[in-house]
Structure 1
Amino acid sequence: MVLDGTNDDLVVASSTDFDFGTGDFTLDCWCRRTTTDSGGDTIFSRYLSSNNQLFLDVNLGKFRFFFQNAGVGVIITGTTTLAIDTWYHVAVVRTGSTWKLFVNGTQEGGDQTSTESVNNLTGQDFYIGGWSGGSLYKFEGYLDEVRISDSARWTAGFTVPSAEYSSDANTKLLLHLNGGATTFVDDSFSPHTVTANGDAQIDSSQYKFGGASGKFDGTGDYLTVLDSDDWYHSGDFTWDCWVRFNGTPTSAVFIAQYQDASNLLRFDYNTTNGLEFSIYSGGVWVLDMYRAWTPSADTWHHVAVVRSGSTWYLFADGLQLGTTATYAGYPNLAGSLYIGQVGDGTNYFNGWIDEVRISNGIARWTADFTVPTEEYSALAVLLNKRERHRIARPIDRIPSDVLVW
């Protein structure tokens, strides 16, 4: 992404994901300056007051990291004088009470020690490319592969990354349902083969994002993905997608896993019960969670089922439906994943489905949220826990002719 040094920056809304306390964390990115400005060109910042702030910048031509909690903290200054129009990888790492600065994989400025918590900045937005304490110290140049992690990724010299960071390690299935004809592609980190059945097809006449979606006619159209350990959710997980019913909504399945008539999972709309997620294991409904919801005809709706610990949530259009449910189990089924029907040739979906995502190991939402405003993709900002955060102030993307690799 390109920043002009005047009024460009990214603002990521305050989140407890940035409240590392006294724990480990890493801030890293690639940067390329285009001027020799001697002032502070800010890369990362979070600001409460002059004695309570955190920032990584370029000062007098060298990287500098600064953190204070009530006036106590660390300052680390690099030793490399940065050349103009040259890419550098920079990382700040905290491991225990030790703080380190790395430039192109080499530690600079020595170990610094502080036991202070960074939670003095709780509630403050995270700025990228600008100083959150005011309008000064904007970064002029390019930033790429910006990442915030809740772990100490490096504690000694390392070889800098030679490829893009993966978009989201928790995403096990990601169907944008773009392209053409009947080719369905999984864009997750480890893609699965998706098979179209019946007349299931990519349709450009209706879509939420990306110029196309999956069309299902309600009389035999569906997608299948073979059984995988990725569908077994022993802990937190999230299933979500966008759906648009063709005309008056009828009972239909969005996503299901089917082993046999006595063992299945289903996420669906039921004209009697509303939005529903059910687990049928060994011929017994061990979980049948449903909440009142009436979708509109010919309207896109975002739907999600989430488990956090043993607590289950249903969401429609970003709003939690009713109360939570509690169930600690989850069957490890030996059956394919189905999109558009339950797996036994019933409850076919009639309409369009877009942005199907299955996430394992993460409860993406546990309270009302703003629904996505664009398709899921490789993130401009890869955040700790690899969750997606809303960018409050977007800027121009990096030009295609200016790349790290």
Structure 2
Amino acid sequence: MPLTKAIKAGITIPELIKTAADDDDYLILFTPTGDPYKITKTNFLSGLSGVGNGGGGSGDTYFNDVVLLLPFDGNINDIKGHSVTATGTPTIDTTQYKNGTGSLNLDGDSYLSIANTTDFELGNGDFTIECWVYPTFSAQVRNIAVHRNNYASDQSWSLNTYHPQDIGKISFFANNANEISLNSSFKPAMNTWSHIAICRSTNVFTFYGNGVSAGVTTSGSSIRTTSSNMYIGQAPDSPSEKWIGKIDDFRITKRCLYTENFTPPGKLPTN
């Protein structure tokens, strides 16, 4: 049914005609109760594709920009083909997971490492690092994922619960000695699944907890390269701060997927 003033009073039909939409252009849609709302082209397509706001589609519009995808459905394999090594006794939990058929279960003595590759170099480009977490601890410093051997000398980035004012809230650090720091206001609840995402759009870094912006910082610095492997659930220079709990659908995309609050994704597409 075409959109007209007679159907939805107060909505003016623009006369401007474009043959292509920019990522930040808006679409006007309506809720089932008839209330109008706007959504960016990027998030609209994300909802259709299964990336970002929806998860209902069969493919990922930006799959070519994905450099790491760990769904933890039956194994620890990376869909993008990078080598993943288990240390300790990490397991796949098929009873408590967010999406798919399983999640990574870590007991505080186990972790994963992914061999370093230039695929993981973020530089000064846009990116999104995201996953679901299910902590079984409270108010402790624990590492979710890092790309470093030592934070002071060869850190690319770190995602953990080391918040200087409130241990347990999520923080993102990048470059040596935490040159770039984003201490969010989001603390994932114990024994509950929470979606976390850190995005860079040009010089703006935004953290989202369960799809809601919970911290912003700006920096024009490039994310440094490192010779270190990437680690899920631990940092080599902080062996006592391994993750305790579960992680699901860990993904790194070299694109800023979220520029406003969003509905966390369902099962991530693998193509």
TM-score w.r.t. structure 2 length? 0.74
- 2:128 is the counterpart of 1:267: no
Cα distance in 1 between the residues matched to 2:198 and 2:221: 15
- 2:89 is the counterpart of 1:185: no
Counterpart residue type for residue 69 of structure 2:
L
Partner residue, 1:292: 185
Q: Choose the corresponding residue for 1:351, options 239, 242, 245.
A: 245
Cα distance in 1 between the residues matched to 2:183 and 2:133: 17
TM-score w.r.t. structure 1 length? 0.51
TM-superposed CA distance for 1:259, in Å, is: 3.7
Partner residue, 2:173: 278
TM-superposed CA distance for 1:329, in Å, is: 1.8
- 2:239 is the counterpart of 1:239: no
* Structure ranking higher on relative contact order (CA contacts 8 Å, 6+ apart): 2
Cα distance in 1 between the residues matched to 2:121 and 2:244: 27
TM-superposed CA distance for 1:247, in Å, is: 4.2
Cα distance in 1 between the residues matched to 2:60 and 2:138: 43
- 2:117 is the counterpart of 1:228: yes
Counterpart residue type for residue 275 of structure 1:
I
Cα distance in 1 between the residues matched to 2:61 and 2:204: 29
TM-superposed CA distance for 1:293, in Å, is: 2.4
Cα distance in 2 between the residues matched to 1:165 and 1:178: 18
Partner residue, 2:11: none
Partner residue, 2:216: 323
Partner residue, 2:207: 314
SS of residue paired to 1:321:
strand
Counterpart residue type for residue 144 of structure 2:
F
Q: Choose the corresponding residue for 1:176, options 66, 71, 83.
A: 71
- The 8 Å contact of residues 287 and 327 in structure 1, kept in 2 or not, is answered as no
* Structure with more strand by fraction: 1
SS of residue paired to 2:178:
strand
Partner residue, 2:231: 338
Gaps of 5+ in 2: 5-13, 30-47, 50-58
TM-superposed CA distance for 1:238, in Å, is: 0.7
Cα distance in 2 between the residues matched to 1:378 and 1:276: 28
SS of residue paired to 2:99:
coil
Counterpart residue type for residue 106 of structure 2:
F
Cα distance in 2 between the residues matched to 1:279 and 1:165: 27
- 2:27 is the counterpart of 1:123: yes
SS of residue paired to 2:181:
strand
Counterpart residue type for residue 222 of structure 1:
Y
| CA deviation vs aligned residue, 1:142-201 (integer Å, no higher than 9, x gap) | xxxx99xxxxxxxxxxxxxxxx9987111111111011xxx411113xx11111111111
Partner residue, 1:206: 96
TM-superposed CA distance for 1:337, in Å, is: 0.5
Cα distance in 2 between the residues matched to 1:215 and 1:165: 26
Cα distance in 1 between the residues matched to 2:188 and 2:129: 18
Shift in alpha-carbon separation, 1:47–1:253, aligned structure 2, 3 A? farther
Partner residue, 1:43: none
- The 8 Å contact of residues 249 and 297 in structure 1, kept in 2 or not, is answered as no
SS of residue paired to 2:119:
helix
- 2:264 is the counterpart of 1:371: yes
Cα distance in 2 between the residues matched to 1:343 and 1:358: 20
Superposition map of 1:121-160 within 5 A: 123-124=27-28
Shift in alpha-carbon separation, 1:259–1:233, aligned structure 2, 3 A? same
Counterpart residue type for residue 154 of structure 2:
N
TM-superposed CA distance for 1:122, in Å, is: 5.4
TM-superposed CA distance for 1:260, in Å, is: 3.8
Cα distance in 2 between the residues matched to 1:332 and 1:47: 52
Cα distance in 2 between the residues matched to 1:193 and 1:316: 29
Shift in alpha-carbon separation, 1:117–1:341, aligned structure 2, 3 A? same
Cα distance in 2 between the residues matched to 1:48 and 1:358: 38
Cα distance in 1 between the residues matched to 2:148 and 2:214: 25
